[in-house]
A = this chain, B = another copy of it.
Amino acid sequence: MRVLILGGDGYLGWPTCMAFAASGHTVMTIDNYSRRRIAAETDSDPLLISPNLQDRAKIFRAVTDRTVQVEIGDCADYAVISKLVSTFLPDVIVHYAEQPSAPYSMMGFEPARMTLNNNLNTTFNILQAMIAFAPDAHLIKLGTMGEYGTPNIDIEEGWLEVEHAGRRQKFLYPRQAGSLYHTTKVLDTDLIWFYVRTYGLRVTDLMQGPVYGIHTHDSQADSRLFPNFHYDDIFGTVINRFIVQAVAGMPLTVYGRGGQVRGYLNLIDTLQCVALAADTPADKGELRIFNQFTETFSVNELATRVQRVGRGLGFAVDIQAIANPRKELEEHYYNPKSTGLHELGLIPHVMTDDVLAGVMTEVARYRDRIDVGRIMPRVRWN
């Protein structure tokens, strides 16, 4: 297949490029390095600064003899994306090209404006380019479980059949997110659903939970092929951040009461899910939605697990509750369904103590690169 990956420089993007190329697909990726710019701007560089995309593609080619074609450009610019789609003619488009940080989106006017415009225009442009040049391509869009928020009813897989006053209607599951970033993903979903039903596009929208992990199959050969591993308050996800805190000898900082439950998955399962979606495309005119996670944990459960594993490896690990910088429920009902990806064949890699120990041991090799000043929350919701 011809696979176009938007946002190939990211934590998920680069491993996805390698995985599709390693499987023998023709891979083209584009990125505008906005995550690098924001990381520099907010003092949030990752544990290891990855080589740029062209260099990573060269290293990957040297190691595997597989090619990832790279273009540096802005998907929010229609001239760029329309040229790319019309010349590359993808069968599959994987869309990661969004500003992915909730705290960044809440930092103030300009970061909020950038998040809204970048994310919406990127999605809009890719839909328009598909209509114009690739109406049969399959778009795999990264959404987030955060779109749903924490409703008091079960979270179904994308859609909700409502019975009301004796009549029935199936709707997009009502979404209510906890940050502007997450809200832009809600807007994306609304926009995508409009274009799917109006123009008969085929789209899979993956409502993904927070991802953890440092290695994928293809990154083992050379440390320069690592996904960028963030542990800061801007881009770091909670498990990776806890692991870095454990290694650095800092208490694991639980936001508020720690009863926030989310669905998590290992980075290697993200790759598995995207590959499964690509192998079995959505139908024309179908917006197929999967809830993409393998296990649910509360923040307190995660902290306890990381503490146990860390102590087992000889780290002194404490847990400390701090004021919650976010506006979110800290105790709530949470019962999200996830069956679609399992039906496609997903075999979960669950978060065992061994898995956590593996990430922690790898992080410990780069212990001297940890900057503890970028871990505590620097952005408050209001």
Contact = CB atoms under 8 A, between A and B. Distances in A.
Interface of A: 78, 109, 112-113, 116-117, 120-121, 124, 128, 132, 151-154, 160, 162-165, 167-169, 171-172, 174-177, 180, 183, 186-187, 190-191, 193-194, 198-199, 327, 333, 381-382
A162 B153 contact: yes
A175 B174 CA distance: 9
B172 A174 contact: yes
A151 B164 CA distance: 11
B128 A121 contact: no
Contacts of A154: 164-165, 167
Contacts of A187: 120, 187, 190-191
A98 to B, nearest CB: 15
Contacts of A167: 152-154, 333
Contact of A117 (B117, B162, B177): B117
14 contacts: A112-B128, A113-B121, A116-B121, A117-B121, A152-B167, A152-B169, A153-B162, A153-B164, A153-B167, A160-B162, A171-B176, A172-B174, A176-B193, A198-B327
Interface centre among A121, A152, A169, A180 (most CB of B within 10 A): A169
Nearest to A189: B190
Nearest to A129: B109
A171 B174 contact: yes
A191 B105 CA distance: 13
A144 to B, nearest CB: 14
Contacts of A381: 198
Given A154-B164, A167-B153, A190-B175, A198 B121 contact: no
A142 B177 CA distance: 23
Nearest to A174: B171
Contacts of A183: 190-191, 194
Contacts of A174: 160, 162, 171-172, 174
Contacts of A116: 120-121, 124, 191
A112 B132 CA distance: 14
A39 B187 CA distance: 28
Nearest to A327: B198
A78 to B, nearest CB: 7
A172 B175 CA distance: 8
A333 B164 CA distance: 13
Given A113-B78, A121-B117, A191-B187, A153 B165 contact: yes
A186 B190 CA distance: 8
Contacts of A121: 113, 116-117
Contacts of A113: 78, 121, 124, 128
